[in-house]
Every structure is written in structure tokens, then in C-alpha cells.
Structure 1
Amino acid sequence: MKDIDLGKEFVIPSPGYRNGRQSASLNQHEEQEGLNSRQDTNKNVACQDALETAARAEGLSLDGLTSSHLGVLDEAHHKGKYHYGWNLMKPIRTTSKYPHPIDNSGLFSYMTFSWLTPLARVAYKKGELLMEDVWPLSVQESSEVNCRRLERLWHQELHECGPADASLGKVIWGFCRTRLIISIVCLMVTQLAGFSGPAFVVKHLLEYTQQMEPNLQYGLLLVCGILMMEIVRSWSLALTWALNYRTGVRLRGAVLTMAFKKILKLKNIKDKSMGELINVCSNDGQRMFEAAAVGSLLAGGPIVAILGMVYNVIILGPTGFLGSAVFILFYPAMMFASRFTAYFRRKCVAVTDERVQKMNEVLNYIKFIKMYAWVKAFSQNVQKIREEERKILERAGYFQSITVGVAPIVVVIASVVTFSVHMILGYDLTAAQAFTVVTVFNSMTFALKVTPFSVKSLSEASVAIDRFKLPPTV
């Protein structure tokens, strides 16, 4: 690919050149030095403009504000690695030193999203939101800040394992590890609270309704227990989503910024086409965000399945294994479906890269296409590629629809099989036992519903990580 000489466009002939060759020869050396200086300057400006344009198209912040962001973080880093995170653990905070309200919020405000209340109030009063109504980007979500941290982890991986054995997935896990672990812990609290309410409180409440002499205080205590369990479940789940979404934003900004910087330094893209590079920056970055936002929810499924199986066996006896077996067998089916999802994803990205490359050629050579009347031929070619891409997406959608559609039916199947076998074997079944088992099965459905999306996001993220391995810059 031939380099474009950006400096020649701004060369102005000197008066000596117009007066004769002698004046031109005297100024030749000076003009050449000025030309080289302007050429280097213009190339740097072009690279900066290209980086800024691409970054702003992706919603990244690569302007001069990042220097102040880095200074703020360097100042906070001397106070401790988790100084900012520990401040968020305070239940209530009254500080207002940060421009974004999420950086000033406490734990209750963070998990309930009440820091969004002023923005919602402005949207309600005005009926719309303008750019001046939205807060500036949080310091913690700055793409340059997160990219610097991700690059440091990547250089450490290269130093320890070498370029051949370096794992980008391991680096990304190190980048998100602490926040994802906290998110998984919050998810465990959610699952335990959602399981404890139906398993214990609802069971005692049903037994209380069958008593001949009611105890008002005991009944109110059970009702308050159900309320507290639901509050813990909903707040811990909200905290899980808050952590996951913010982790996804940081990961997406860091990965895309590092990819932009790497692409601008490439001297030879080798086997990477222009369409593939565009698709990496526009499509695969979103896959990384989805993996960080939804992937950790997969950890709650096995724990709820084990707790439900043990509890059903205690309540119903050996027949409790049947209903739990239906849930447990559903997870291998999800893993099997995820293999097909990853397979179709790999096929689809190759076709998508080809389509983007073809559209890039059409836009670059539109004059020649119009001149030689090649519009119909190119449109048929693009339509053929798009038709192949649509077929692959349809096949992937079929498997995804099967997994999503089967999840709500699992509760019904497990309940019918368990109660039918339990009654056929001659065991007694009381109302308290039946309703308690059904509510336990319902509490297990959340893990089943999020499993297809979690497996899909992790499978697509594994493909995206492989595509982010760009060729070396030299």
C-alpha cells in the first residue's frame, strides 16, 4: 500500500523559484527541511484525527481531558488500590467532589440507582434530554484510563509468557477479576435469598394457615420475613447488574481503545482485511461488553440446583430427585446448544467481514462502478453474501429460541413428574409440601432463564478474543 505524502499538498512556491533556477537552488535545502517537518507534523495530525474520529464514533473519550483523569487516578492510587471501591461501600455519602453523581454515591444509592433521580426528573420536566443535561463522563469509565491498565496487564503477560503463549483471555480476566468476583458473591446472596424465602418462610406460612388457633404475632413475623427476603433478593440483584454493566463499559472502552491504537500503528495488516478490522471494532467490542454484563450470571445456576435437590429430598423423600434431575439435565443441554452458537458465530463473522469488505470497496470505487455500469453486478454480489449471512443467523436463532423457550416449561415438567411419581408410589402429599416444592422450583427458574444468554455471551466473547489478536506493528 503506497503511502500518501501529506506534506506536498501544502508546499507554496517561493518567489526565488519564479525568478530563476539560482534562487531555487539556494532555497532548496531550506524548503526540503521545511517540507519534511510539515510532512511529519501532518502525519501526526492525521493519525490523531483518525484516532479521535474513530473513538468518538464508538463513544470513547480520547481528548485532552484524559490527562486530568490520569492525574486524578494517580493521586487516588497512592491511597490504595481499592480506595475508590471502598468509598462506594459506605451506606450513605455526602461528598460532591466528582462531576458524575455515580462517583459520589454510596452503597444504597449505587444499588438502587437513585443517583439517576435528578436526570429522570429533568427528563420528566423537559420531555427530552439534551447533551448539556447529561453529566460528563465518569473518571473511572474513561477509555484512556482503562486502556492504560489493560495495556499494563498485557505487557506483563507478554513478559511472563512470551508473544506466542500470551493469552488475551487471561489478561481480560485479570482486568475484571475483582469486580466479577464481587458480582458473583452478590448473585449468590440473590439466589440464597430467593431460595430461602419459598423454602422456609412460605412453608411455615402454609403450615400456619392450617392451624386451628392462629397467632397474630407469629403470622406478621412470617409476612415480614417474606418482605425482608424479597428486599435482600431485589437489592442484591440490582447491585449485581450495576457492577456488571459498569465492568462491561470499562472493558469495552479499554479493549476498543487498545485496538484503535494498535491499528493506527500497523504497517502491514497481513491477512486482516479492512472489513474485518471494521467489524472487530464495531461488533466484537459489543460482544466483550455483553460477556462482562451477563456472563457472570451463569455461576448462580449450579448452586440453586444443588440446594433445590437437597431440599426437595428432605421434603418429599426419594421422589424429590426426579424434579431436580430435570433441572440438572437442562444444563448439559444448554452447554450443547452453546457449542452450536459458537460454531455459527465463527461462520457468521467470516461472512460479515466479507460483506463489510465488499461494501467498503463499493464506497471507495463508486465512480468507476457508475462509469462502467457495474451497479447491478455489485448489488447482486452483496445480496448473495447477505443472504448467506442471514441463513447462518437464522440457524443460530433457532437454537437460541429453543433454549429460551424450553426454560419456562422446565418448572411445569419437573412439578408434574415429581408429584405424579410421588402419588403413584403411595406417599402422602400435603398442601404445604406441594406449594413449597412448586415455589422452590419457581425460585430456580431465574438461573435457567439467564443460562442461555450467559452461555451465548461467553461463547461469542471467546470468538471475539481470538479476533482481537491483531498482527504485530512491525
Structure 2
Amino acid sequence: MFPDALEAVGRVEGLPLTSPATPTLPDPDEEEGQREVVPWTSPRRRAGRYRHSLQILKPFRITHKHQHPVDNAGLFSFMTLHWLTPLARRAHKTSSLSTDDVWGLSCHEASEFNCQRLENLWYDELKQKGKDGASLSRVFWRFCQTRMLVAIFSLLITMVTGFVGPALLVRALLEYSQSAEAWLPYGLSLVAGIFLMELMRSWSLALMWAVNYRTAARLRGAALTFAFHKILRLRSTKDISAGELINICSSDGQRVYEAVSVGCLLAGGPLVGILGLSYTAYFLGPTALVGSAIFIFFYPAMMLASRLTAYFRKKCVLVTDQRVRLMNEILGCIKFIKMYCLENAFAQNIHSECLVTLVRTHTHTHTLGLYCFFSGQVTW
């Protein structure tokens, strides 16, 4: 088991190991005249912003100076997830894995290090836009924009190679197999081209997911740590319930993770639509536009289903907050409840809350199934 990630950050990056209870950056609720942003001068920024990230462009790396294998991986090892091979072999030999078998957290995924970077971006946003014009979503985009652009570029390569292989090379190979005059080198070149396109498609898709998962983990850890620091600085929690705090650290953090991990897939849709529409219109003529219009008509229905899903999901979250608040009230006043024999009244309240939760869950599940139905029709 490797050392703690915060110690690795302090050793590799030279950052101070400050406690969350004593943050190095000021509270954004303080007055503008009293706010003084602490400059962040890490060795990583002084030596080059992308010094470590550019090392992954090397096809092969034999270094072992980093504690986590993913930091020692080259391009091919990172794309194919070959750095997980020792863990897979250990799982195959022992048929089980324990926490001692798993590597410690990489120093570049440490929440404290990423939180300091997110805080500096947030204070830069406050300085440029002001307190009223600052946008947290813009700060999130600045936090992960470079890695997201790399993931989008990998996705575009996946889409182009996935289109060129079946649409051009496979079609040329079928025409070659039906032709009377067969030139062997041409056929072999088509087979090699199909193999190369499929290899590039699979590797670029794996690279996109590998980059997205690390980016999502960094942003989720930074956002939750940033929120945790803010909660510790609150003088009173009367304006926010315990259920809302739990949702911030659980469901909201998971939504941030999912948005980053699958968000770049939106960039591939227009490219695939343009390529597919151009290809079908070239071979089938204007009648192909009629078939393509069916897909366009399904998208508003999918948008409506997704809006309904988000609406009922928000309703479920509100009901969950009420149930958690009621349970906290019962646990806090259990002595008085037993003393005054109020068990039946609170039991009825809990039963009614559970019924409301069940109804909301059924409604949310129904709308989610409706969304999956429309999505399946478009995919099919």
C-alpha cells in the first residue's frame, strides 16, 4: 500500500499539507476590501503547466519514479489500460482483491491538490467577473478544458475511422471481391486499411474514456473538497438542511462526475450526422433525407422525456430531503417521543413519507423507461 495521497502531493508537488479546517484561501463571503488571494506558485506551474501530462505522449516509458502505475504509463499503456495488468494478474491468481492489493491514490488525483487549483480559478473568476457575474460552470470548464478537448479530439478520430472503415474500405473490398480482374496487393491493402481503421477506432475510444474518467475524478474531488471547505467555514447551517448537504456530497458530486465522463460524447453527434447524411444522399439521392428526418423528429420527444426525467428526479430528491430531516428529528428527540408516547404519530408520518417516496420513484422510473424507449428507437 502506497503512502497517503496528501503526503505524495507534498513530496512530488511541493504543496503545503494544510488541514481543511484551516484553509489557505479566504472565504468568498468576506468583504472585497478584506479579500486577499494567496498566490499559488507550485513547482508544476513553474516548470510548465503540461510538463507531466506531455510525458504520456511517449509511446513507451520505462520509468518507475512515480508511485502510481498510471503516472508511469506511456501512450500505448494508457490507451490499452496495460498498466492495470499487474492488478488483473493478482486478481486472477488469488480470485479476490483486498484494499491492500489496490494502489494508493495518484498524487495528481488528490483532492487537496485539485481543490487548490479550483479555488484559484474561482478567485480569478471573482476578480474578473465580480461576485454577481461569476459562474461556477465556467470555472469547471476552465478546470478541465484541455483534457476535455483532448477527449473530444479522440472521439472525432473514433467517429471518422468508424465511418471510413465500413463506408469506404469495406465497400471497396466487396467490389474488389466481385470484380473479374483481381490484383492481390490491392486486396491486401484494403484488408490492412480495415484493420488499421478498426485499431485506431478502438484505441482512440479507449483513450477518450481513460482521459474522461481521470478528468471526472479530479473535478469531482476538487468540487466536493471545495464545498467541504465552505461548509466548515459556515457560521450557521440554519439556511441549509442536513439532507441538502448529503445530496451535495453524494448525488450532486456524482452528476458532476457523469457530466464530465460522458459530456464530450455530444461533440460526436453532429459529425456522425453530417457524415451519414452526406454518404446516404450521395448513393440514394434526395430520398435519403426522408429517412434522416425520422431521426430528427424523435429528438424533440427524447428532449421532452429527459426533461420529465430531470423534473421527477428533482421531486424525488426533495422527498428524500424531507424523509432524512424527519429521521434526524426522530433520532434527536427519541427520549421525548418515548416519554410522551408519540411513537404512533411519528410512525404514521414516516409511513406517509415512504408512500410519497415510492410514488415519486415509480413516476421517475416510468419516465426513465420512456426515455430509454425513444433512445432505443433512434438507435435501432
**TM-score (normalizing by structure 2):** 0.86
AA in 1 matched with 2:51: H
1:68 match: 11
Q: Deviations over 1:309-357 (max 9, x none)?
A: 1110001111111222223333333333222233223322222221222
Distance in 1 of aligned mates of 2:168 and 2:336:
75
Distance in 2 of aligned mates of 1:344 and 1:273:
21
1:386 match: 354
1:396 match: 364
Distance in 2 of aligned mates of 1:276 and 1:316:
55
1:234 match: 202
1:137 match: 105
SS of match in other structure, 2:359: helix
CA contact (8 A) 2:8 2:107 kept: no
Query: 1:366 pairs with 334, 342, 345, which one?
Result: 334
Q: Deviations over 1:256-289 (max 9, x none)?
A: 1111111111112242112211221122111111
SS of match in other structure, 2:42: helix
**Residue 367 and residue 216 in structure 1: after superposition, are their counterparts in 2 closer, same or farther (change >3 A)?**
farther
AA in 2 matched with 1:336: L
1:183 match: 151
Higher-Rg structure is 1
1:431 match: none
AA in 1 matched with 2:45: H
**Residue 382 and residue 157 in structure 1: after superposition, are their counterparts in 2 closer, same or farther (change >3 A)?**
farther
**Residue 123 and residue 395 in structure 1: after superposition, are their counterparts in 2 closer, same or farther (change >3 A)?**
same
Distance in 1 of aligned mates of 2:236 and 2:5:
24
Query: 1:199 pairs with 167, 190, 201, which one?
Result: 167
**Residue 67 and residue 390 in structure 1: after superposition, are their counterparts in 2 closer, same or farther (change >3 A)?**
farther
2:23 match: none
- Structure 2 residue 301 is the aligned partner of structure 1 residue 321: no
Q: Deviations over 1:371-422 (max 9, x none)?
A: 444334333323322332333333333233233233343365xxxxxxxxxx
AA in 2 matched with 1:150: L
SS of match in other structure, 1:360: helix
Higher percent of residues as helix: 1
- Structure 2 residue 155 is the aligned partner of structure 1 residue 212: no
- Structure 2 residue 196 is the aligned partner of structure 1 residue 252: no
Q: Deviations over 1:79-133 (max 9, x none)?
A: 2001111111111111111000000001111111010000111111122212221
**Residue 380 and residue 234 in structure 1: after superposition, are their counterparts in 2 closer, same or farther (change >3 A)?**
farther
Distance in 2 of aligned mates of 1:69 and 1:398:
50
Distance in 2 of aligned mates of 1:295 and 1:379:
43
**Residue 320 and residue 186 in structure 1: after superposition, are their counterparts in 2 closer, same or farther (change >3 A)?**
same
Percent of aligned positions with the same letter in both sequences? 52
SS of match in other structure, 2:49: coil
SS of match in other structure, 2:14: helix
1:375 match: 343
SS of match in other structure, 1:181: helix
Query: 1:357 pairs with 325, 330, 334, which one?
Result: 325
Runs of 4+ in 1 over 6 A off after TM superposition: none
Distance in 2 of aligned mates of 1:152 and 1:393:
40
CA contact (8 A) 1:193 1:233 kept: yes
CA contact (8 A) 2:56 2:74 kept: yes
Distance in 2 of aligned mates of 1:69 and 1:143:
15
Unaligned runs of 5+ in 1: 1-60, 413-474
Distance in 2 of aligned mates of 1:123 and 1:67:
31
- How well do the aligned residues superpose, as a CA RMSD in angstroms? 2.1
Q: Tell me: higher relative CO, structure 1 or 2? Use CA pairs within 8 A at least 6 residues apart.
A: 1
Distance in 2 of aligned mates of 1:384 and 1:139:
47
Query: 1:348 pairs with 316, 327, 336, which one?
Result: 316
- Between 1:108-117 and 1:319-328, the stretch displaced more is 319-328
SS of match in other structure, 1:319: helix
2:82 match: 114
Q: Post-superposition shift, 1:180?
A: 0.8
AA in 2 matched with 1:71: G
Q: Deviations over 1:423-470 (max 9, x none)?
A: xxxxxxxxxxxxxxxxxxxxxxxxxxxxxxxxxxxxxxxxxxxxxxxx
- Structure 2 residue 211 is the aligned partner of structure 1 residue 268: no
Q: Post-superposition shift, 1:70?
A: 4.0
AA in 1 matched with 2:180: M
CA contact (8 A) 2:152 2:265 kept: yes
**TM-score (normalizing by structure 1):** 0.70
SS of match in other structure, 1:310: helix
AA in 1 matched with 2:190: L
Query: 2:120 pairs with 152, 159, 165, which one?
Result: 152
SS of match in other structure, 1:277: helix
